[in-house]
Copies of this chain bind each other. A is one copy, B any other.
Amino acid sequence: MSTEKSAIIVGAGLVGSLWAVYLSKAGYKVTIYERRSDIRKAEISAGKSINLALSVRGWTALDAVGVGDKIRDLAIPMYGRMMHSTEGELSFQPYGQEDQAIYSISRGGVNARMMDIAEHEGNATIHYNHQCTGVDLEDGKIRLLNKETNETVYDQADVVFACDGAFSAVRYKGMQKLDRFDFSQDFIDDGYREILLPANEDGSYKLDKNALHIWPRGRFMLIALANEDGSFTCTLFMPFDGGENSFKSLNTKEKVDSFFKETFPDFYEMMPGIADAWEDHPLSSLAIMRSYPWHHGKVAMMGDAAHATVPFYGQGMNGGFEDCTVMWRLMQKHNEDWDKVFAEYSVERKPDGDALQDLSLYNYYVMRDYVADPMFLLRKKIEAKFSKLYPEKWLPLYSQVTFSNIRYSEAMASGKAQDKIMDEIMEIPNIEEVWDSQEIMDQLAEKL
């Protein structure tokens, strides 16, 4: 009976929690329904300590509503990639200019903090253990199962936002039943298993905490990101099946042991008991999920619900946060005429979701393979030098994606154009020796 503007958000994850703050700022009464229980009251098991990498798009969206600083103390800067060769040699590749970093942050930690923010800064009411079991897209009405009482409840609002992740119930129960709704879920051939590398006994880090560590091995890779407590969350990505180096063939303790010993010797030295920890963490799958349109009636999808991706560019969360930036801009532009806001949101943002997904897949090849290739690293060095000389003429693709708010689709297009030019530069005879010269810089400038 109230005339107050109301919004429902399905999912108290990262995007839902942040979006609550934006809506609250615009005067909406926000109610969030979350399928799981309150993670702030639950023990976060080590096995679920997925790490995320916050970068510029994420900070932009957080800072726009003044909550960035509430996250900063959880974040550990990583200034570049540290590659570990089979011989245990280390090589460092900076991500951007000296002061540029991406920020390691634990999913559990940041999600708990974002829920605090949703409640305090967003004045949102969060109902936990409420599973969405149906949705009326036209009327903005949702049906929920209270999993504690087993009761079915209904709620309705002026607008509804599905921020309920890759396996979105709103998408499954609502959007996917629409005529002419495009949808795909494509699982990649590879899965992942997490391993916790504990801190030293004195609590110090076993590796440089200010780098993202990669053991690139061609068809598979191991990575490690620092946690606040001195530990590292390590993740092995490799094919489920097919050949010697697959999860299927690592089926005994002995095989796991000798695999790590031979393939990641410096890691094995830090964690000789790896084979015992192996089964602690489940083997998980990875998928790209595309949809279109991203709205219908009074409901719009944001974040993974609209464009779930593989984690290799560290852009899943950042892209979801950027959905808030875009939706907010369109809210202002159309003066909260939601039909217009949603229509433009779907059309404008879809190519960026697609590009984010394409880039994420591409970066898997970069991480697991190319970064072990001296010619690839040289290529990036040449780009970095040119970019430093002519920052207005050349921003490397990685920097566009990670250190700018340039649209993903534009970044991808300009990255392709840069690639063509760099292909030519790399064919210059003896490029390994002559690359650090003004002549090469001039040639690059000419080709632009």
List residues of A (173-191) whose CB comes within 8 Å of B's CBs. Answer: 176, 179-187
Interface pair A182/B181, CB less than 8 Å apart:
no
Nearest B residue to A182 via CB reads B186
Query: A418 contacts the other chain (Cβ, under 8 Å)?
Result: no
State how many copies of this chain the complex holds: 2
A181 to B176, CA, bound (A): 16
Cβ contacts under 8 Å, A287 to chain B: 180
A183 to B184, CA, bound (A): 5
In whole Å, how far is A296's beta carbon from the nearest beta carbon of chain B?
A: 14
Interface pair A285/B179, CB less than 8 Å apart:
yes
The digit string for A294-334, where 1 denotes a CB below 8 A from any CB of B, is 00000000000000000000000000000000000000000
A182 to B187, CA, bound (A): 6
**Count, chain A residues at interface, CB 8 A:** 14
The digit string for A200-243, where 1 denotes a CB below 8 A from any CB of B, is 00000000000000000000000000000000000000001000
Return the contact of A183 from the options B179, B181, B185, B285 (Cβ within 8 A).
Answer: B185
Interface pair A184/B186, CB less than 8 Å apart:
yes
Q: Report which residue of A172, A179, A180, A181 has the largest number of chain B beta carbons within 10 angstroms of its beta carbon.
A: A180
Nearest B residue to A290 via CB reads B184
In whole Å, how far is A314's beta carbon from the nearest beta carbon of chain B?
A: 23
Cβ contacts under 8 Å, A185 to chain B: 176, 181-184
Interface pair B184/A184, CB less than 8 Å apart:
yes
Q: Report which residue of A187, A285, A287 has the largest number of chain B beta carbons within 10 angstroms of its beta carbon.
A: A187
A182 to B186, CA, bound (A): 5
Interface pair B184/A285, CB less than 8 Å apart:
no
Cβ contacts under 8 Å, A182 to chain B: 184-187
In whole Å, how far is A220's beta carbon from the nearest beta carbon of chain B?
A: 17
A132 to B285, CA, bound (A): 28
Q: A181-B185, A183-B185, A184-B186 are known contacts; what are 7 more A-B pairs with Cβ within 8 Å?
A: A172-B176, A180-B240, A180-B285, A180-B287, A182-B185, A182-B186, A184-B185
5 closest A-B pairs (Cβ-Cβ)?
A184-B184, A180-B187, A180-B285, A179-B285, A182-B186
* A and B contact pairs by CB, cutoff 8 A, 20 listed: A172-B176, A176-B185, A179-B187, A179-B285, A180-B187, A180-B240, A180-B285, A180-B287, A181-B185, A181-B187, A182-B184, A182-B185, A182-B186, A182-B187, A183-B183, A183-B184, A183-B185, A184-B184, A184-B185, A184-B186
